[in-house]
Amino acid sequence: MTTSPPPDPTGSLGLDPALLEILACPDTHHSPLAVDEVASELVCTTCDRAFPVRDGIPVLLLDEARQRGTGAA
């Protein structure tokens, strides 16, 4: 009899799925963040800023965000 491993408690980018549900952009509109696993970033659904995830920790600082499409912060 084989047993399957227990489910992984972490979701995308190593973040807890419950945390991903409540994270929002730190800008004034507080829009939800979408996961971009390829770039290891969380992306604002309103302003299109990309926030890095470093070592499983989301860095939700506007100064650290990258404006997608232009490559500038």
DSSP E strand stretches across 16-56: 33-36, 41-44, 49-54
pLDDT surpasses 50 at 5: no
pLDDT in tens, 12-65: 888 999 999 999 999 999 999 999 999 999 999 999 999 999 998 999 999 999
Check if the beta carbon of residue 37 is closer than 8 Å to that of residue 43.
no
Confidence of residue 69 (pLDDT cuts 50, 70, 90): confident
In a domain, 1, yes or no: no
Domain span holding position 36: 25-67
CATH at 48: 2.20.25.10
Global pTM exceeds 0.95: no
In a domain, 30, yes or no: yes
pLDDT at site 19: 92
